[in-house]
């Protein structure tokens, strides 16, 4: 059944039914410049949600813990399945849900929400309007993508918005291809890199816009390629993914700003598109072995 509907922008209200049941929000993407989708990581004990209309298409992926789910929607037969790591379920936007129940302790789920900001062409190519109301699904790649998104939500990295953008599109493409019968959402490539001229243009673009919230779409447009072709070609040329490359540029700029000593750590984090100063500090320490404060102090002692 086609449940396509006009979807609002990404919002933390999507998980209101879980919050009302007392589930704990561990991390989310709502403060990040993520276009077309959003995600939150929640720990559930018990959920007993009465009837509601699903606001947006949602994919829930098991991260940790075990539980049992029972749910029914649109007058169809009740679905019962295990909530466990690697298993996932789909609830299309616009579906009238009769009830949703989850029993278990310490069940951690990644809730991935697809909103109205998603590129219409990409939504069509992943058959988003025809996604099924289905639960207890298993797919190793979907599980791996879910774990990677959850990790990035827990520990923000430099260039993390590009990583989330890449993972989000990969998740949608995988589900669209494997679980709806849609064709692959991107062209195949043979590992060829960007031409020298294109690579130079993209690198100059990234350098000039290192303080902006960049998406894969922005970068691919600069290279005149599709998102999927661009990611593969960029890595073939540089040995790094776009988000890794942008992250390294931002860390180099962070080092320069810390050396200048004119801005606070909070201001630098904001300039470099981190959601918080603590997220910036963790990312900086992972890469350099020092917190920004310790790095600045070491420079002053020289």
Our measurement of the distance from residue 222's CA atom to the centroid of its chain's CA atoms, rounded to an integer in Å, reads 22
Rg (CA), the chain: 21
Judge whether 172 and 216 are in contact, CB under 8 Å.
no
Higher pLDDT, 75 or 171: 171
Predicted pLDDT of residue 228: 66
Q: What is the DSSP letter of 290?
A: S
Cβ burial of 194 (10 Å; 0-12, 13-18, 19+) is buried
* Secondary structure (DSSP) of 240-252: S-HHHHHHHHHHH
Which of 124, 88, 135, 138 lies closest to 108 in space, CA to CA? 88
In the predicted model, what is the mean pLDDT of the chain? Answer: 84
Predicted pLDDT of residue 65: 95
**Which pair of structure tokens corresponds to residue 264?**
């606070």
CATH superfamily of 12-178: Regulatory protein AraC (2.60.120.280)
SS (H, E, C) 122-143: HHHHCCHHHCCCEEEEECHHHH
State the alpha helices, DSSP H only, in the chain: 16-20, 120-125, 140-154, 160-178, 196-208, 216-223, 227-238, 242-260, 265-271, 277-288, 292-301
Confidence category of residue 159, pLDDT binned at 50, 70, 90: low
Rounded to whole angstroms, the Cα distance separating 259 from 226 reads 38
Phi, psi (rounded to 5 degrees) for 142: -60, -40
Judge whether 34 and 168 are in contact, CB under 8 Å.
yes
Task: Note the pLDDT tens digit of each residue in 264-290.
Answer: 999 998 898 888 888 888 888 888 888
Task: Note the pLDDT tens digit of each residue in 32-71.
Answer: 767 788 899 999 988 999 889 898 999 999 999 999 999 9
User: Angle at which helices 242-260 and 227-238 pack, to 10 degrees?
Assistant: 60
* Pairing mode, strands 79-83 and 67-73: antiparallel
CATH superfamily of 251-301: Homeodomain-like (1.10.10.60)
């Amino acid at each position: 059944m086609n449940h396509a509907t006009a979807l609002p922008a990404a919002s933390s209200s999507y998980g209101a039914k879980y919050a009302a049941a007392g589930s704990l929000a561990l991390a989310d993407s709502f403060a990040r410049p993520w276009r077309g989708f959003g995600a939150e990581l929640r720990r559930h004990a018990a959920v007993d949600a009465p009837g509601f209309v699903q606001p947006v298409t949602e994919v829930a992926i098991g991260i940790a813990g075990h539980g049992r789910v029972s749910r029914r929607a649109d007058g169809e037969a009740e679905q019962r399945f295990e909530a466990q790591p690697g298993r996932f379920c789909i609830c299309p936007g616009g579906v009238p849900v009769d009830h949703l129940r989850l029993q278990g302790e310490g069940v951690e789920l990644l809730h991935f929400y697809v909103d109205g900001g998603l590129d219409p062409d990409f939504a069509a190519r992943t058959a988003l309007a025809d996604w099924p109301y289905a639960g207890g699904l298993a797919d190793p790649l979907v599980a791996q993508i879910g774990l990677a998104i959850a990790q990035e939500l827990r520990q923000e990295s430099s260039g993390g918005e590009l990583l989330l953008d890449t993972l989000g599109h990969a998740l949608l493409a995988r589900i669209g291809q494997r679980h709806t019968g849609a064709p692959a959402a991107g062209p195949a490539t043979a590992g060829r890199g960007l031409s020298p001229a294109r690579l130079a243009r993209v690198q100059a673009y990234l350098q000039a816009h290192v303080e902006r919230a960049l998406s894969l779409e922005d970068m691919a447009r600069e290279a005149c390629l599709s998102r999927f072709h661009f990611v593969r070609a960029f890595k073939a040329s540089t040995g790094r993914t776009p988000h890794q490359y942008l992250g390294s540029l931002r860390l180099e700029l962070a080092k320069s700003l810390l050396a200048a000593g004119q801005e606070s750590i909070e201001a630098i984090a904001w300039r470099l598109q981190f959601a918080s100063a603590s997220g910036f500090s963790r990312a900086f320490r992972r890469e350099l072995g020092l917190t920004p404060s310790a790095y600045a102090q070491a420079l002053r002692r020289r």
